[in-house]
Amino acid sequence: MTIYSHPTFDMACDQFDKVADLLSIDPQDRDRLKYPKRALTVAVPVRLDSGKVQVFSGFRVQHHLSLGPTKGGMRYHPDVALGEVAALAMWMSWKCALTGLPYGGAKGGVTCDPSQLSINELERITRRFTQEIISFIGPQIDIPAPDVGTNEQTMAWMMDTYSIHTGHTVPAVVTGKPVHLGGSLGRREATGRGVAFLIGRAMETLRLKSQDATAVIQGFGNVGSVTAGTLASTGIKVIAISDVSGGIHNPNGLDLNAIHAHLQSHPTLAGYTGGDRISQDELLTLPCDILVPAALERQITEKNAHLLKCRILAEAANGPTTPAADAILDQRPDLFIIPDILCNAGGVIVSYFEWVQDLQSFFWDEAEIMGKLYRSLENAFRHTVNTARDRQVSMRTAALSIGIQRVHQAKKSRGLFP
């Protein structure tokens, strides 16, 4: 399927093929499991504030329909492409199955640079994009959520556009909405808190103590900043962070409150003076206990995998490690890897809770949500650790094999349709 041709899609296919061999999946079933069921590409013409009209490209990919509606984020970034979105949709499928959620994976996005667009332009892009994909989404069809470059406001515009079209308010069409519009308590923080919870479980396994531990975090958006704050609240010293403008490092620990204050009045970390400026490459290879890539795909490659100096690699981003890097990391028993489909699953788990609450119009308190989240993550963590031990495979292969096996089982039971 050359329409998905993209390095990130190749990476997701490589991972799938390896696990399909391990599970001895019948070659006849493989393409049906691997390739997305549906993909939609749309042109999004929008009038900019200057009066000019610009046509943006928009995508939505639904990977499989065997277990329920599809679910996944919407990304606004200059590099968004069909193949990247397809890879992210595939990973969502394995993630939902690993954590036992009744969804297939989906992903979407618009190729644009949100930092160069006004709030009004972003609203027009979102509403027009939603209109273009309106028959492709719905509470029982496909439920978008925020991802890189999108947030609660984006979801509010999507929900409003869909509701205007339907003629009544439909909160369950998206998750990650503002709480006052039917969003779930804890959703904004869920991914980062889940990452920190799993890091805590890995530290217990390695007998690392919080007060002695240091963390380095690449990407300081929703996921990276909440992960940093949650780790710091347990006594872990966050010694370096980065964003699109580069990294900052302070071996004595960064002042996260001062960084948040800086970001109130500046778009990026550029100009922050509470640490030394370092490059992204330097950041990834700093000596630390916990390394958290929380930005984009393909950051840990064959060029830097052997240089990592952490004990725990917690993959908060989707697809941060290439298969070539994996082959190197497989030879490093000193590293405990929490693979992406497990590590960042807290987001989709609380999105599922949000969808359930919206469908019932009955809302839970935050303690109930967080308790349910941590129980789900604990189960997935144990299942992955036990599978890795029993099958003598890496944590990534273990997590993927649990997810892929569950989707395979559903497809076998249902037949060729979904």
Task: State the catalytic residues.
Answer: 107
The 291-330 contact track toward ligand NAD, x by CB under 6 A, reads ---xxx-------------------xxx------------
Between 263 and 410, name the residue whose CB sits nearer to ligand NAD. Answer: 263
Between 58 and 146, name the residue whose CB sits nearer to ligand NAD. Answer: 146
Query: Which residue stretch of 130-138, 157-165, 240-248, 321-329 sits at the interface with ligand NAD (rule: CB under 6 A)?
Result: 240-248
- For residue 64, CA distances in Å to 27, 141, 418 come to 18, 11, 7
Between 142 and 147, name the residue whose CB sits nearer to ligand NAD. Answer: 147
Report in angstroms how near the CB of residue 334 gets to ligand NAD at its nearest: 25
204 burial via Cβ count (<10 Å: 0-12, 13-18, 19+): exposed
Site for ligand NAD in 177-216 (CB under 6 A): 191
Report in angstroms how near the CB of residue 28 gets to ligand NAD at its nearest: 32
* DSSP single-letter state for residue 52: -
* Residues 63, 67, 68: CA angle, nearest 5 degrees: 85
248 binds ligand NAD, rule: CB under 6 A? no
CA gap 145, 364 in Å, rounded: 19
CA gap 87, 82 in Å, rounded: 9
* DSSP single-letter state for residue 250: -
What token pair was written down for 386?
Answer: 């036990």
CA gap 229, 236 in Å, rounded: 10
Q: Could you count the other beta carbons within 10 Å of the beta carbon of residue 61?
A: 29
β-bridge mates for residue 293, sequence order = 218
218 binds ligand NAD, rule: CB under 6 A? yes
Between 154 and 397, name the residue whose CB sits nearer to ligand NAD. Answer: 154
Report in angstroms how near the CB of residue 268 gets to ligand NAD at its nearest: 6
Among 69, 221, 229, 339, binds ligand NAD (CB under 6 A): 221
Query: Which residue stretch of 133-141, 207-215, 238-246, 393-401 sits at the interface with ligand NAD (rule: CB under 6 A)?
Result: 238-246
146 binds ligand NAD, rule: CB under 6 A? yes
Between 133 and 350, name the residue whose CB sits nearer to ligand NAD. Answer: 350
Report in angstroms how near the CB of residue 183 gets to ligand NAD at its nearest: 12
C-alpha 222: how far from chain center: 11
Query: Which residue stretch of 98-106, 140-148, 164-172, 387-395 sits at the interface with ligand NAD (rule: CB under 6 A)?
Result: 140-148
Q: Could you count the other beta carbons within 10 Å of the beta carbon of residue 406?
A: 18
CB contact burial 268-293 (16+ within 10 A = b; e otherwise): ebeebeebeebebeebbbbebbbbbb
Between 88 and 203, name the residue whose CB sits nearer to ligand NAD. Answer: 88
Among 220, 336, 355, 374, binds ligand NAD (CB under 6 A): 220
| CB-based contact 249:284 (threshold 8 Å) | no
Binding site for ligand NAD (CB under 6 A): 146-149, 191, 218-224, 242-244, 280, 294-296, 316-318, 344, 347
